[in-house]
Amino acid sequence: MDIDRELELALRRVTEPTRGAEEAAAGRVLARLESSALPSQKRRLFAAWWPSALLDLNFMPAWPRVTALACGTALGVLVGLSSLGSRIATDLDLWHRASVDDAGASIFDPDSVTGLRP
Amino acid sequence: MGGPADHELMARVARGDGQAFSLLSRRHVRAALSLARRIGGNDAVAEEIVQEAFLRVWIHAPRWRPDAAFRTWLYRIVVNLCLNERRRAPVLPLAAAGDPADPAPGPDTELAAQERDRVVATAIDALPARQRAAIVLTYQDGLSNAEAADVLDTSVSGVETLLVRAKRTLRAALAAYA
């Protein structure tokens, strides 16, 4: 007989459960389990539970990105509160405060031909 | 298999239902014992391991998610406990030798088969723990390679490698006997 086939047959015979001994052992294990008080169960904490619930819905937060977004938001609020933006714009001469004269001049310039004001 | 399905029982166990736990343990205790005996190689230790495995099932039931079959999860616990036990205190495989050959006169072929089985059983017990677990899960419990991979926490190709190596060793042992 081919040795591979011989091995297959031997493996099936060897790994076959031995009925009698296992019944007795099963009885002992079940008796021990049922005679003693069962320990308390480990419940799922909310902190451990909600990421997996989000994961089920494909809404699992990508924590590095959430952190980057939070940092960006906090930086924006700080810059806004400190008026740093307007100071930098002034320093760089990026804006002009409109004066009343400027506004009047642009609207009521005298006519170049007649010299009359509208 | 009659009665409620395993995952239904586990849902009840997760709510602390002791009766469902009893039903579940009665359903799987024999298979778990058989697995623990083969991998652990010691009957007394196998009983302790199976008891411990069922207690862990009870304790962690609220966290269990029915992503895989309950049997696969239970087998994984049993296999891990067996491997831990073997790592901690290697035991002499008392049961490995199997039953002694019947001294009564019998057909030569039957005696030869018994002797071959003894050689194979001894060689299985001498295998590295994970190879032995792969053999037992596949042959004794009839698990597919994918299920065995789940239990052993490896890939299907990992299980195939374990089986190939184990069979190579067993074939060599059988050839040496022949």
pLDDT tens digits for A25-48?
Answer: 888 989 988 888 888 887 766 666
Of B55, B61, B117, the CB nearest to A14: B117
Of A17, A21, A42, the CB nearest to B62: A42
Neighbours of B54 (CB within 10 A): 25
Q: Is B135 on the interface with A (CB under 8 A)?
A: yes
Of B14, B25, B139, the CB nearest to A11: B139
Q: Under an 8 A CB cutoff, do B47 and A25 touch?
A: yes
The pLDDT of residue A69 is above 90: yes
Measured in angstroms, the CA of A26 and the nearest CA of chain B are apart by 6
Chain B residues within 8 A of A32 when measuring between CB atoms = 51
Q: What mean pLDDT do residues A20-26 have?
A: 79
Specify whether the CB–CB gap between B148 and B137 falls below 8 A. yes
Q: B175: nearest CA in chain A?
A: A3
Closest CA to B57 of B86, B110, B17: B17
Mutate to test the interface with A, among B23, B58, B81, B136 (most CBs of A within 10 A): B58
Name the residue type at position B163: L
Measured in angstroms, the CA of A88 and the nearest CA of chain B are apart by 55
Q: Under an 8 A CB cutoff, do B139 and A15 touch?
A: yes
- Does residue B114 form part of some domain? yes
Residue of higher predicted confidence among A53 and A24? A24
- Does residue B58 form part of some domain? yes
> Which residue is listed with tokens 């199997």?
B98
pLDDT in tens, B37-46: 888 767 788 8
CA B23, CA B55: separation in Å to the nearest integer?
14
Tokens of B37: 């005996």
pLDDT in tens, B48-73: 999 999 999 998 888 888 877 889 88
Task: Please tell me the predicted confidence (pLDDT) of residue A72.
Answer: 95
Neighbours of B146 (CB within 10 A): 11
Closest CA to B113 of A7, A17, A18: A7
- Does residue B41 form part of some domain? yes
Task: Please tell me the predicted confidence (pLDDT) of residue B89.
Answer: 63
Among the residue ranges A53-62, B70-79, B161-170, the one predicted with the least confidence is A53-62
Name the pLDDT band for B29 (thresholds 50, 70, 90): very high
Q: Quick one: CA dihedral B159, B160, B163, B168, positive or negative? A: negative
Name the residue type at position B51: Q
Chain B residues within 8 A of A20 when measuring between CB atoms = none
- Does residue B37 form part of some domain? yes
Chain B residues within 8 A of A6 when measuring between CB atoms = 116, 174
- Does residue B23 form part of some domain? yes
Name the pLDDT band for A111 (thresholds 50, 70, 90): low
Of A11, A25, A40, the CB nearest to B135: A11
Task: Please tell me the predicted confidence (pLDDT) of residue A68.
Answer: 93
Look up the CATH number of the domain holding residue B84: 1.20.140.160
Q: What mean pLDDT do residues B149-162 have?
A: 90
Name the pLDDT band for A105 (thresholds 50, 70, 90): low
Of B43, B58, B174, the CB nearest to A6: B174
- Does residue B82 form part of some domain? yes
Chain B residues within 8 A of A21 when measuring between CB atoms = 43
Give the count of domains, chain B. Answer: 1
Percent of the residues in chain B that have a pLDDT greater than 90, as a whole number = 25
- Does residue B1 form part of some domain? no
Chain B residues within 8 A of A44 when measuring between CB atoms = 62-63
Range of the domain at B128: 6-177
Measured in angstroms, the CA of A1 and the nearest CA of chain B are apart by 11
CA A38, CA B55: separation in Å to the nearest integer?
7
- Does residue B28 form part of some domain? yes
ipTM rounded to 2 decimals: 0.70
> On the CB side of A106, how many CA atoms lie within 13 Å of its CA?
5
pLDDT in tens, B76-118: 999 999 888 877 665 555 444 445 445 454 556 667 777 888 8
For chain A, give the mean pLDDT.
77
